[in-house]
Chains A and B, each alone.
Chain A
Amino acid sequence: MLSIKNLHANVEDQNILKGLNLEVGPGEVHAIMGPNGAGKSTLGYVLSGRDGYEATAGNIDFSGTNLLDLEVEERAQAGLFLAFQYPVEIPGVSNMEFMKESVNVIRKARGEEPLSAAEFLKKAKAAAKQVNLPLDFLKRGVNEGFSGGEKKRNEIMQMILLEPKLCILDESDSGLDVDALQVVANGVNSQRDGKRSFIIITHYQRLLDYIKPDFVHILADGKVAKSGGPELAKEVEKTGYAWLEKAGEKAE
């Protein structure tokens, strides 16, 4: 599904990713952990195609196409979804009209018929209910006046509606209390169908108690420093990331 080879990327002329490799197969859940500044969020932005996050070397294959050749919206239409860490507020654009237009653009890209207003509303209501957002949030401006937790849940609601192939969650757990964390995790787990893949970017192990990853990767200094199974996340919880520096010193 996703194959990242030797990815180098710059943010404002600063080299952040330095030869990152990652293979994500269909239906797999990969957790990306690592200390602040390791390049976790940069990876999410480079994958989604944000301006200013420039891949300088390496390649990314997404289901047979070169992801780096695609515009932001083409990546979304191809089935890539990024749940943002800090979703932007867009007053004046209602959540509902935004999602309806997005869902239908993506359905069109998949060769499906657009949803009627009634069909969409039914799905939207079900998705809102699933992430525990009151229905009037559909009518409100996109993320306008939402709390941090509501914004995160709104991202998960969008993910459910857009039915992507690959979901990247950028610190969707940060700033959440246990209840909200559970809602986010349930939303993600409900979308696990054996084909859809997930990249869960997180600083802490906490979210992984609720979303069981197949693989855990520790990112440090723009590269995968260590990969393993779920037990690696537990190890991080116990020892923190200090061992990375020691490992780095040893290597130098």
Chain B
Amino acid sequence: MSQSWLAQAIARASAVNDWLQPQRKESLALLATQEWPGRRTEAWRYTSLHAFDKLALTSASGDVKQHDAPAVAGLNSLDIVLVDGELQTAIEALQLPNGVRVSSFSNADAQAQEVAHAVFAKVKPAKHLFGLLNDTLAQQGIIIDIAAGAEVQQPIRIVNYVTAGVESHNRILVRLGAGAKAAIIEHGANLSGSDAAAFNTAFAEYLIGDKAQLEHYRLALHGGKVIHIGGSHFQLHNEARLNSTLVGYGSQISRIDADIHHAGEHAFAKFNNIYLLAPSEHFDLHSSIEHAVPNGTTEQNARGIVGDKAVAVFNGRIHIHRYAQKTLAELNNRNLLLTRGARVNTKPELEIYADDVQCAHGATVAEINEEALYYLRSRGLSASQAKVMLSFGFIQELITQMPNHSLADWLLPILHERFVAMEAE
């Protein structure tokens, strides 16, 4: 049983001591009451954590090589790079746009600490076991403070590289002041060579103020033996807008929890999820949308392509509280299984306690549209060429909806190459 792994992690966490100590202590206390998730733990029913039984990892050695963020033509982002949880970018030397403050846990001044205290473990629900672990173990983190009214054009990108044999924990804390506008990209990937296990948790919390607008991307492009467990969590205040796209590969275990909490009225959230699983990979997305107040809108579209012997898990919950009248919520999950050996466990969950809402959900395991197949073939494409085009089109549709076209143009050929390789196997 991996309860011992947890006990050992708690022992390590108890030694962490810094200015976040008050919050860390609370999470540590909660963590001590947690059971290690097994098959009967609902949130982990389809994702086994047996790999932790024989996990032998070190923490970062401190002498990791310098790595650049992936070059994306036209993106012109403000880049912050971490390798195995250690900061590679000199935060102090960054040329920051007006209204933006970026700090790390290690250089946080009083103002940054104030932001961190307002966000840390305040947006992310306490129910996530690995989120609590991250609370206690993430020694490094990025704090981003966008001033009220600041309209930041330059996207901010945080790249987390994972290397083989290492355990690491990353944290991102973001506060957007009232009326602020920003785009933030969380990019996770492993450096070449994913045959050896690595374990990374990466949790991000976003407090989005009144009328603020966040454009958000989470790219979880790990693969191989990496165990990646993370979350992106959002709290939306009055008339806030969130447009978020999550793109995930599978890996030995890849698990992401996303929470969108409508705390203020007339907020709008668009949340697109794309997963592309190579043979034998595992990917698990649990999303939870909380409509706690009236007049909120959520549109969530999740689409996945699942390769041979790969397993996708999608659990999409929408919770409309009793007073959250006039909520509009839509959740749709579509899956394309490439072979009979591919598996998906999909479960949309609606809990509606208000009576004047519009809510729709659906989950399908799709097949190729025969009429579209005929149409493409009637223009000369072979059946297999047409199938690749249609299958990939299935996720391409969501990629092309990304507001940042440079990022979409960079991502598409990478995903296409991965998809074509999957088909060839």
Contact = CB atoms under 8 A, between A and B. Distances in A.
B340 interface: no
Given A73-B382, A101-B385, A109-B380, A92 B375 contact: no
A93 B393 contact: yes
Interface size bracket, A side = 20 to 34
A99 B389 CA distance: 12
B380 A87 contact: no
A72 interface: yes
Interface in B378-408: 378-383, 385-386, 389-390, 392-398, 400
A77 B370 CA distance: 20
Contacts of A48: 378
B378 A76 contact: yes
Nearest to B416: A97
Interface string A94-122: 10011101100110010000000000000
Contact of B375 (A87, A94, A97, A141): A87
A88 interface: yes
Contacts of A73: 377-378, 380-383, 386
Contacts of A158: 379
Contacts of A141: 393, 397, 400
Contact of A88 (B371, B393, B394): B371
A51 B370 contact: yes
Nearest to A76: B380
A162 B393 contact: no
Interface string B42-76: 00000000000000000000000000000000000
Interface string B341-383: 0000000000000000000000000000111101111111111
A99 B400 CA distance: 18
A84 interface: yes
Given A92-B395, A93-B393, A76 B375 contact: no
Given A88-B371, A91-B393, A92-B395, A105 B378 contact: no
A97 B400 CA distance: 13
A93 B379 contact: no
A88 B378 contact: no
A98 B372 CA distance: 12
B385 A84 contact: no
B247 to A, nearest CB: 15
A212 interface: no
Interface string A32-51: 00000000000000001111
Contacts of B390: 90, 93
Contacts of A245: none
A127 interface: no
Contacts of B395: 92
A72 B385 CA distance: 13
Contact of A82 (B369, B378, B385, B386): B378
Contacts of A72: 374, 377-378
A61 interface: no
A75 B379 CA distance: 9
B381 A101 contact: yes
Contact of A98 (B374, B379, B382, B397): B379
Nearest to B386: A73
A158 B375 CA distance: 12
A97 B376 CA distance: 12
Contacts of A92: 392-398, 400
Contacts of A105: 380-382, 385
B408 to A, nearest CB: 12
A60 B209 CA distance: 69
Nearest to A91: B397
Interface string A131-148: 000000000011000000
A71 interface: yes
B324 to A, nearest CB: 31
B276 to A, nearest CB: 13
A93 B370 CA distance: 15
Contacts of A50: 374, 378
A90 B396 CA distance: 11
A99 B380 CA distance: 10
A98 B389 contact: yes
Nearest to B382: A73
Instruction: Tell which of A87, A98, A158 has the most Cβ of chain B within 10 Å.
Output: A98
Nearest to A105: B380
Contacts of A84: 375, 378
B308 to A, nearest CB: 22
A45 B62 CA distance: 67
30 contacts: A48-B378, A50-B374, A51-B370, A72-B377, A72-B378, A73-B380, A73-B382, A76-B377, A76-B380, A84-B375, A84-B378, A87-B375, A88-B369, A88-B375, A90-B372, A90-B375, A92-B392, A93-B389, A93-B392, A93-B393, A93-B396, A94-B396, A98-B376, A98-B389, A102-B379, A105-B381, A141-B393, A142-B375, A158-B379, A162-B379
Which 6 A/B pairs are nearest by Cβ-Cβ distance? A92-B393, A92-B397, A93-B393, A76-B380, A102-B379, A72-B377
Given A76-B377, A88-B371, 12 more contacts: A76-B378, A76-B380, A84-B375, A90-B375, A91-B397, A94-B400, A97-B389, A98-B389, A105-B381, A141-B393, A141-B397, A158-B379
